[in-house]
Structure 1
């Protein structure tokens, strides 16, 4: 049963499906943790290795940028070479890059190894959904996909906390290097389990669309790069020009994909995806939803740190109810609710997310500075519960009508727009907060965080409208 096989959707009787799922989710967690774990360790890295102040931002950007840029290509490579093979290759590369980061002798070397980490993550993440669909079917697939939500949420919340704990613990004098070394044993555990994965690729092995790959990578890179950590209210004209150029390249990419399909060649993105009425709506839903979740988390942490003066560890722990609610919601949805309620569960999740956001606005509007972090905890638990209910229902409905040859493209696209949405959410909500908050005025910070959350509320409405269009039948 451990030999490689090329499968279309898999038998539920495969005996190693649950251990294999553990490997997939550990791979997801490890990569998503690393996107945020360096945020807390960055000052210690800068103090140890030196370098310019701008280099500190590159500790994160060097990972995030190749991760976002290569996701679509990573999904297509899974169709071509096999998703299990790409997953194992990505985990191996990520482990070696993590060890290299821990041993980095200079800022330049660390940034270079972070680029390799981000590229490896872009190979790993798109394979997860396809491999889950290969090993699970029916209600069990909903439960397996339901595991993605809590892993994403816990990784986002725990990254800064874990980075702070490991750096301050200074185990064996490792300081910030422990934040990278922790990936090595986790990667080894994933590689030990990975032989239990079932090989899975598209029934017809497509050729790699090199022109489409270059257009997609450059276009996404030009859109995402200027927005990473940006304050949109102070974004220079040159940065807006890069965003506009990126959007133009993405338009050219769309035209190129249509021409490749019309000529009978293999485009980077399967055009048949857009014959499913609900898939474009799923892309919009994913973009706006992850803009809400990442942007909301960012402004809450900013308010705790800048508005209240809390340390990073305290700010991270304040988000614990969010992660608990998310874990409970995802497990409950995947195990019991998705199969029964389907799209209605997405609406319930978004309603709870909206309720939690409005509750947070009320807390910031009525509570004094000393008590609002405590009063915020129930609101964050409701937000997490809503996110947890929404996520497995969303992925199940977005992927359910797709054919095996479409999975790689779909996974790459969904993950790419998720990263773009997350970057936009952080940039937009962060800009609203930073442009309204003044360091010498505590009341302005409270006004700023409420204004930012109102933007999140508007994005929840966009997510709801787009999600209502999901699940449509295939055109033609």
Structure 2
């Protein structure tokens, strides 16, 4: 199977970021790059991004220690883990739009400040209630910070350097999930100064302070109202937020997120299904409202240029499937190795190192593949992931630790998912104009986050539907891995389905 080609002609050089989409601002971008130092800028924003992504997962390994120390109830512990994710997912689009209004550098530093302060508060929290509140604030800071990373990359880099920066971005974004499990295990096992779970939050503080000291200088000069200056973007066209659209979208995402992160813990109550139904209704209302607003010459929250960009629907579908499989796999594997196999926090964390390393290496180097093979990297990546998921299930099906076969399968999972994800992100953003970077970053990062939430909920439900014990857990993992393989196969064929739809 070959990569689906866009139905709209793509300018020469678009796939490596050197085409028409970047010519108009090339001189300005090069000047900013020389002033800010593109390597330093990338180091700052990717380090901030890594902290934000790690905090989605780093608490998982620390959860048992945290529960024992704070005497947290099951629902309280779930909110500690999920509170960050809920506010993070709900506010991502708002964070992207804030960057378009006040400047991406300023928004990044503001989000980093909130995130760092909230991390300190989380690490010092005296009880479960305070920790939950600080986790929500921490997620809000991440939601403001993270969308600016893509926007700054799009507006600072051009040509091949942009593609390389996007490769590093995708490697950090997705491998950060597994790296969070590893780091969480290391910190909990170390029990620094008898602090137990607290270092999983406090580790962000010195890193955040260093970034805040270096950021104002390394990120270069202030970027005042970039979309206004460039003539694009919702904020620049209107000078204000599309508040009605923002409220509709935030409500739809909130109604989707809450049952996804709490439904399994609370037995999928009726209110969860009602919220999911209302989420779908509000999403449809949002789409109609935005289309009518654009038709009246208004400034919708999401630019029509982004929604209609070549390959965007296919990119969203593939990103959702890849991130759903990634997050769902990490979730069920954590439950199996810690619950059934009795791994400690450190060993459980290191179990995911092969997946994280493979994902990162492929994300940084996939463009070295000969050009004639690159069109098939995405479907081939999904196929490799499907085989590898099945391999993990087979390696652990007898209740053992899997041995070398598990290591090989974990490497295959990371390699396959990276090939499935990294080229999609780079090629999609190559067709997006720099002044639309805020819209694109908000859409793609939110799609990835919602995919992760869906993956944990769906694949977690499959795994948790089986009884206790090592054998039952191994059977549950096998069934879940087959479902993960099915999702990966869907990712391999979704391009063909969308192409046939266009032909009709």
TM-score (norm 2): 0.85
Match of residue 219 from structure 2: 197
Match of residue 360 from structure 1: 392
Provide, for residues 286-316 of structure 1, a one-character-per-residue CA deviation record: whole Å limited to 9, x for no partner.
Answer: 1111111111222222222233222332222
Take 1:233 and 1:373, find their aligned partners in 2: how far apart are those partners? 35
Question: Aligned to 1:279, which of 272, 290, 312?
Answer: 312
Take 1:243 and 1:50, find their aligned partners in 2: how far apart are those partners? 31
Take 1:255 and 1:351, find their aligned partners in 2: how far apart are those partners? 36
Question: Aligned to 1:237, which of 270, 288, 291?
Answer: 270
1:429 aligns with 2:451: no
Q: CA deviation at 1:220?
A: 0.4
Provide, for residues 7-44 of structure 1, a one-character-per-residue CA deviation record: whole Å limited to 9, x for no partner.
Answer: 94522993411111111110111011111222233343
Q: CA deviation at 1:160?
A: 3.1
With over 3 angstroms needed to count, the CA separation of the structure-2 counterparts of 1:403 and 1:470, relative to structure 1, is farther
Match of residue 11 from structure 2: none
**Which deviates further from its counterpart, 454-463 or 54-63?**
454-463
Match of residue 467 from structure 2: 438
With over 3 angstroms needed to count, the CA separation of the structure-2 counterparts of 1:337 and 1:471, relative to structure 1, is farther
Is the contact made by 1:281 and 1:469 (CA closer than 8 Å) also made in structure 2? no
User: Which 5+ residue runs of structure 1 have no aligned equivalent?
Assistant: 1-6
With over 3 angstroms needed to count, the CA separation of the structure-2 counterparts of 1:235 and 1:454, relative to structure 1, is same
- The 5 A counterparts of 1:127-146 are 127-146=148-167
Is the contact made by 2:184 and 2:345 (CA closer than 8 Å) also made in structure 1? no
Match of residue 466 from structure 1: 494
1:413 aligns with 2:443: yes
**Which deviates further from its counterpart, 192-201 or 445-454?**
192-201
Match of residue 4 from structure 1: none
Match of residue 4 from structure 2: none
1:451 aligns with 2:472: no
- The 5 A counterparts of 1:86-235 are 86-194=107-215, 195-198=217-220, 201-202=226-227, 203-204=230-231, 205=236, 206=238, 207-228=240-261, 230-231=263-264, 234-235=267-268
Provide, for residues 218-273 of structure 1, a one-character-per-residue CA deviation record: whole Å limited to 9, x for no partner.
Answer: 11011111111543994122210111011111111111111221122211111222
TM-score (norm 1): 0.90
Q: CA deviation at 1:154?
A: 3.7
RMSD: 2.6
Shift >4 Å, 4+ stretches: 338-342, 467-472
Take 2:373 and 2:154, find their aligned partners in 1: how far apart are those partners? 20
Match of residue 423 from structure 2: 393
Take 1:352 and 1:454, find their aligned partners in 2: how far apart are those partners? 13
1:14 aligns with 2:43: no
Residue 407 of structure 1 aligns to a residue whose secondary structure is helix
With over 3 angstroms needed to count, the CA separation of the structure-2 counterparts of 1:341 and 1:471, relative to structure 1, is farther
With over 3 angstroms needed to count, the CA separation of the structure-2 counterparts of 1:363 and 1:149, relative to structure 1, is same
Take 1:150 and 1:291, find their aligned partners in 2: how far apart are those partners? 16
Q: CA deviation at 1:55?
A: 1.0
**Which deviates further from its counterpart, 35-44 or 110-119?**
35-44
